[in-house]
Amino acid sequence: MSQLETTYLGLKLKSPVIVGSSGLTSSIDKIKKIEEKGAGAIVLKSIFEEQIKFEAGKLANGSDSPEAWDYVNYYVKNNTLQQYLDLIKKAKQEVKIPVIASISCVSSKEWTGFAKSIEEAGADAIEINVFVLPNDRNATAEKYENIYFELAEKLKSTLNIPFAFKLGSHFTNLVGFIQKLNVPGVVLFNRFYAPDIDIDNMKFTAAEIFSSPADIRNSLRWVGIISSKISDLDIAASTGVHDGKAVVKQLLAGANAVQVCSTLYKNGIDHLESIIKEIEEWMSKHGYTNINEFRGKMSYAKIDDPLVYERSQFMKYFSSIQ
């Protein structure tokens, strides 16, 4: 019988499959079903800095009173947060798997207090989702990266529970950036909102919100490299993971755990059982009894030709095709 236990951020998971932050993890009923179907942990739907500011502005619209603005900001922040804290507390009462909170922010200024409140509510860990769009041509890369570093330092000095940064892939030197970030864990990679243009109606729309199985290629490359280059770092692979085979690939590359989301929207929460079964069948077929026996076996540091992770020139392989 295959043993699927693993650890991520110091937490013991009954399986390496984590359901990522989304509407799937926004209610107790869904969270209970996710546990029942075999997930090792859940990441709660994010609480957003932009959401809080928008709600505060909408409620105070039409008022020129500074006192009114102060009151509305205080009310919205505390009540929006309280609903989130209540969800954490309830989830911890109803399920045994780790409950990871998620906060999404665009600055390093306000979130330390939110994170501490989340810890006090009982969350097992926190996933920090930071994205700062580098659209100022006069700003240096260091200016943008320092937002991440400053937030990481604040959280390290404030929290007693582990946390991970959910990152995008667009850093000039991802290995160096993560090394300097020096956090307990990272999630590779975030799937950001992207705009599209409706050319018939001349308006902006959202690009495809779900990942495809092909999207695993970028995260697989960097999981294999980062897991080999940086020690004492836990990695959760994300994006493009749609079945058990994809989970196995990420574990072979060196991931501690793997997040799924889009595939559950497409196939339903019951699909978790199929993912788990596929992992177990692969392990049994290849004679593995636990994940540690093969985790990282195909990482950058373990394979005979690590340059396969570095090759990026598409035409090198297809220029000879007539």
DSSP 224: H
Rounded to an integer, the average pLDDT of 9-13 is 98
How confident is the model at residue 312, as a pLDDT? 55
What global pTM score does this model have? 0.87
**Under 8 Å between Cβ of 191 and 210:** no
Query: Count of H helices and E strands in the chain?
Result: 11, 13
Phi-psi region of 297 (alpha: psi -120 to 50; beta: other; left: phi over 0): alpha
Kindly report, residue by residue over 45-68, the tens digit of the pLDDT.
998 766 555 555 555 555 454 555
Dist. CA 221–CA 4, nearest whole Å:
23
pLDDT at 95: 98
pLDDT > 90? residue 133: no
Predicted confidence at residue 115, as pLDDT, reads 85
pLDDT at residue 258 is higher than 70: yes
Domain boundaries, the chain: 6-318
Residue 242: per-residue pLDDT:
96
pLDDT of 75 reads 53
Q: Is the pLDDT of residue 107 over 80?
A: no
Q: Give me the percent of the chain exceeding a pLDDT of 90.
A: 61
| One-character DSSP codes across 49-99 | HHHHHHHHHHHTTT---HHHHHHHHHHHHHHHHHHHHHHHHHHHHH-SS-E
Q: Helix, strand, or coil here: 104?
A: strand
The tens digit of pLDDT for each residue in 82-94 reads: 899 999 999 999 9
Kindly state the average pLDDT of the residues 134-163: 91
Whether 7 and 54 have beta carbons less than 8 Å apart is answered as no
Least trusted range by pLDDT, from 30-44, 138-152, 175-189, 268-282 = 138-152
Q: Which class is 6-318 in CATH? A: alpha beta
Mean pLDDT of the chain: 87
pLDDT at 130: 82
Q: At what angle do helices 244-253 and 271-285 cross, to 10 degrees?
A: 60
Name the percent of the chain lying above pLDDT 70: 85
